[in-house]
Amino acid sequence: MSLKHPASKHHTDAAERHHEAAKNHHAAATHHEAGDHDKAKEHAKKAREHGTAAIEHGKKGHEESHK
């Protein structure tokens, strides 16, 4: 897929970060269910980091689309 519009890259990056956040949320839930709260905490932190990055990429994509 060829991304020609500058905003497309940011939106793609946002989607990838959301996917990583979802995987980490799932891992956190799995570890929490298993009683491994330290691992759950680690994955939850990664999920928040990816989620925050996804929001920032989404904002950049939105700004680019209005230029």
pLDDT of the chain, 67 residues: tens digit per residue: 566 777 888 888 999 999 999 999 999 999 999 999 999 999 999 999 999 999 998 888 878 777 6
pLDDT value, residue 1: 55
Could you give the CA distance from residue 16 to residue 4 in angstroms, rounded to a whole number?
Answer: 18
The answer to pTM > 0.95 is no
CA distance 25 to 62: 25
Contact assessment for residue 21 and residue 51, using Cβ atoms and an 8 Å cutoff:
yes
